[in-house]
Chain A
Amino acid sequence: MKSRVDDFKYNISETFELPKDIVLDLPKIIMIGDLELHISNHKGIIEYTQEALRINSNIGILKVEGTNLELKTILSEEIIVTGNIEKIEIIS
């Protein structure tokens, strides 16, 4: 659901090469192998078990599935998940 403001912001960030995740307030997801997942700019944890983790963000709900999932760090802007990650889903 891209509104006109979002379109405009997108164009500005393209032209000036500004980082999009800051301009558009999007989460940044960094995955290191299947061991670690860094999610920054999230909006809260919805569910956390050893097998599934659901995080709210601007683009929808991020669902991470795997085994032995552990939350390495929780900060207000960043979450680091470790363990055997099997699936990442974006549910919007």
Chain B
Amino acid sequence: MEIIKTWNYLRGYVIIKVEGLTLERFLNLAAAKDIYLWDIKRINHTLLEMKVSTKGFRALKEVVRKVGCRVEVLDKKGIPFLLYRLKNRKMLGFGVLIFFSIIIILSSFIWSIEIVGNETYSNEVIMELLADENIKSGIIKYNIDKNYIRSILLNELDCLSFVSVDIKGTRLIITIYEQDIPPEKLDINTPCHIVASKKGVITKAIVKNGKTMVRKGDVVKKGQILISGIIVDENTEDNILVHAEGEVLAKTRYFYRVDEPLMKVVEEETGEKMEIHEIKFGKKGIQFFKEDIPYEHYVKNTKEIKPFSGRFNLPFKLFVYEYMEVERKEVKQNIEFLKKSSYIKAIEELNKQIPREAEIQFKDVIYDVKNGILSTYVVVEVVEDIGQKQIINME
């Protein structure tokens, strides 16, 4: 029923007064003709007031004739009557139309391009690339082919592992994830040597193509040729250039040193703190409650408050500076604990340097205390592939 009422409001309805003697007969006849009447009130013995839709009102004429009563229209409500009144104010309707169309048209363009997640490539490089393809602010967003942009980015820029192009409202958001730079793959037909990438002692040399220059037990320097790409042909005694292939495993050393002072200055927060609020408009800022900081030593924390959880970009920024008083104390550290923590730190660093396929043969750690500083020196010996391809230069 309620749906019918809102529907009737849209189509327009009238409030009428019905005067007569046999009003109940009027109601029955109207109901029989499926005319929807609602909000029926009895005013006195001969008067009823009710609401009826404009369509139903026209159909009522027949009923009125049969019953013999008088019908008077009290009020007209609904959208069709509004539009009728608007006929004299055509410019208003026109203005509303222009308003909506401007909004729709303006929101069909791209007004800003955002690039997220790029580290090696600067924003300008990517924007230039897109501008070459005519993707910049001011283009119609329905014409953009997302897959095309993705393929352009993946093809032109190396070391991208994931590109996603998204259109949110009037923003074009490009999210990229980078991967490590893949090693240069040399063409299989380019002749090259395999040279040592670092110093080491050869443990094994597996040659797939080319002539081996080193044996197990040889000490090699960085840059020394391990597998040569120049082969002397047995029959013609000419030099043939090949693409050297193979694995050369050697023992190499990695070392790392950590220095830690024995007496450490520890800063402990006492709990006293002071807050200063600031509003920044661009570069200028106004600070509230600015006083001189009474603490001798303190730590400053800057927090930015984002109202509306950062969804809107407001023209100003709110900062809260927290000054927390700290006390400096000199604490003598436990040597054993220090040794262990330095060792762990050194091992962590070394693990980052050592390539994954390498095998660790040997680990050694030396501790030395001098002038109140504990030096931890960790040496790790690994077996790894030190081969690196180098193109043969033709002179």
Instruction: Point out residues on A near B: beta carbons under 8 Å.
Output: 44-50, 69-76, 80
Contact B31 A46 (CB under 8 A): no
Interface contact A49-B36, CB-CB below 8 Å: no
Tell me, in angstroms, the Cα distance from A50 to B42 when the chains sit together.
Answer: 6
> Looking at the complex, which one of B31, B41, B45 makes contact with A74 (CB distance below 8 Å)?
B31
Q: Contact check: which of B1, B23, B32, B42 meets A73 at CB < 8 Å?
A: B1
Q: Which residue of B lies closest to A38 (CB)?
A: B1
Return the chain B residue nearest A43 by Cβ. B28
Assess whether B38 is interfacial by the CB under 8 Å rule. Answer: yes
- Contacting A at CB under 8 A, from B30-61, are 30-32, 34, 36-42, 45, 50
- Can you show 19 pairs from A to B with CB atoms below 8 A apart? A44-B31, A47-B24, A48-B23, A48-B24, A48-B27, A48-B40, A49-B45, A50-B42, A71-B27, A71-B50, A72-B39, A73-B1, A73-B36, A74-B36, A74-B37, A74-B38, A74-B40, A75-B34, A76-B31
- Inter-chain CA distance A69–B40, complex, in Å, is 9
Interface residues on B, range: 10 to 19
CA distance A50 to B28 in the complex (A): 18
B residues near A74, Cβ cutoff 8 Å: 27, 30-31, 36-38, 40
Minimum distance in angstroms from A11 CB to a CB of chain B: 33
Q: How far in angstroms is the closest Cβ of chain B from A67?
A: 12
Residue of B30, B37, B42 ringed by the most chain A CB atoms within 10 A: B42
Name A's interface SS. strand
Min CB distance B312 to A, Å, is 46
Chain B: CB-nearest residue to A83:
B41
Task: List residues of chain B with CB within 8 A of the CB of A76.
Answer: 31-32, 34
B27 and A45 contact, CB distance less than 8 A: yes
In the bound complex, CA of A73 to CA of B53 (Å): 13
Give the residue name and chain of the A residue nearest to B40 (CB).
A71
Write the nearest CB–CB distance from B90 to chain A, whole angstroms.
38
Residues of B participating in the A interface, judged by any CB pair closer than 8 Å: 1, 23-24, 27-28, 30-32, 34, 36-42, 45, 50
Residues of A close to B39: CB separation below 8 A: 70, 72
C-alpha gap A47/B36 in the complex (Å): 19
A73 to B23, CA, bound (A): 15
Within the assembled complex, what's the spacing in Å between the Cα atoms of A74 and B24? Answer: 11
- A residues near B38, Cβ cutoff 8 Å: 72-74
Distance between B29 CB and nearest chain A CB, rounded to angstroms: 9
Task: Give chain B residues whose Cβ lies under 8 Å from the Cβ of A50.
Answer: 42
CB distance from A78 to the nearest CB of B (A): 9
B24 touches A46 (CB 8 A): yes
Are B24 and A75 within 8 A (Cβ)?
Answer: no
Q: Please give me the 5 A-B residue pairs with the lowest Cβ-Cβ distance, nearest first.
A: A71-B40, A44-B28, A76-B31, A45-B24, A73-B38
Q: How far is the CA of A70 from the CA of B36 in the complex (A)?
A: 15
Give the CA-CA distance A81 to B354 in the complex, in Å. Answer: 87
CB of A40, distance to nearest CB on chain B (Å): 12
Partner of B37, one of A46, A48, A69, A73: A73
Q: Are B36 and A75 in contact (CB under 8 A)?
A: yes
Partner of B42, one of A48, A72, A75, A80: A48
Task: Give CA–CA (A39, B11) in the complex, Å.
Answer: 27
Further 10 A-B residue pairs, CB within 8 A, beyond A48-B40, A70-B42, A73-B38:
A44-B31, A45-B28, A46-B24, A49-B42, A50-B42, A71-B37, A73-B37, A74-B27, A75-B34, A80-B1
Residues in B neighbouring A48, C-beta threshold 8 A: 23-24, 27, 40, 42
